[in-house]
């Protein structure tokens, strides 16, 4: 069932890690990659875009781009479920992945902001189809059309390991990248993976591990998106 979520209020692109998000009137979405010129554009990342909602800005009287989002929607993004597909304007489809944690990095821009925002930081998404997006575009929910990804980071790690091709291993840092979590989580991987059971032993290795089985870079992890992109 289609649901009108209102307008796309604003767009921003962050070009380098050292620069702040830059407001732009329009941007080019690249299918399977992200926004053109944005540092998070990456074919194997579940964090290509961050969508925030105007309600949290209004409720907390936040300054523009305080949440470091790419797209600011009229809708409250905390209610949007993983696996939902959004259409922005006439061409661009986005796949919602999971809610973005209000981590301590927000506090560098405003003390205490992560605590104030809580679970309303925004929702992360991937780009399914290419096309221009403009401020003022309508945002339409097409409903749940792709598999949901877990909110729990441990279950996302398990999801990535379940997709590991036979005869391969994955480096801890790449595992964190594909699961959409900070590299600092790597130190928690041995215990977390051991908790998944013996079938997962040896699937992930630290960067210092000696060469052995080929290391997977994540190619094919999001192949399930192809059926929607092709249909569109």
Return all residues near 223 (Cβ < 8 A) that are at least 6 apart.
none
Q: Of 101-115, 138-152, 188-202, 205-219, give the lowest mean pLDDT range.
A: 101-115
According to the model, what pLDDT value does residue 103 have?
74
What domains are defined for the chain?
A: 3-148 (2.40.33.20), 153-225 (1.10.10)
Strands 138-144 and 34-35: unpaired
For residue 61, give both structure tokens: 């009287």
Average pLDDT, the chain: 93
- Tell me the whole-structure pTM to 2 decimals: 0.93
- Region 206-226: mean pLDDT is 92
H/E element, 103: none
Distances (CA, A) of 1 to 17, 69, 228: 39, 27, 16
Q: Of 8-17, 115-124, 172-181, 189-198, give the lowest mean pLDDT range.
A: 115-124
Question: pLDDT tens digits, residue range 116-169?
Answer: 877 888 999 999 999 999 999 999 999 999 999 999 999 999 999 999 999 999
Q: How far apart are CA 42 and CA 85, in angstroms?
A: 19
User: Which of the four pLDDT bands, split at 50, 70 and 90, describes residue 91?
Assistant: very high
Order of all β-strands in the sheet with 131-134:
34-35, 26-30, 131-134
């Amino acid at each position: 069932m289609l649901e009108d979520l209102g307008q796309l209020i604003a767009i921003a692109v962050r070009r380098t890690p050292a620069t702040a998000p830059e407001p732009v009137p329009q941007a080019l979405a690249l299918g399977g990659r992200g926004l053109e010129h944005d540092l998070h554009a990456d074919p194997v990342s579940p964090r290509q875009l961050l969508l925030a909602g105007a309600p949290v800005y209004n409720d907390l009287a936040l300054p523009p781009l305080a949440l470091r989002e790419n797209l600011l929607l009229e809708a409250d993004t905390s209610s949007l479920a993983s696996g939902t597909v959004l259409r922005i304007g006439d061409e661009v489809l986005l796949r919602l992945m999971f809610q973005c944690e209000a981590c301590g990095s927000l506090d560098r821009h405003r003390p205490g902001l992560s605590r104030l925002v809580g679970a309303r930081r925004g929702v992360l998404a991937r780009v399914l189809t290419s096309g221009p997006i403009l401020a003022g575009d309508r945002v339409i929910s097409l409903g749940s059309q792709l598999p949901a990804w877990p909110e729990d980071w441990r279950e996302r790690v398990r999801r990535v390991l379940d997709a590991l091709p036979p005869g391969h291993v994955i480096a801890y840092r790449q595992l964190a990248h594909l699961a959409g979590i900070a590299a600092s989580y790597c130190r928690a991987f041995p215990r977390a993976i051991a908790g998944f059971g013996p079938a997962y032993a040896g699937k992930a290795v630290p960067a210092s591990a000696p060469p052995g089985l080929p290391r997977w870079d994540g190619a094919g992890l999001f192949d399930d998106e192809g059926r929607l992109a092709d249909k569109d």
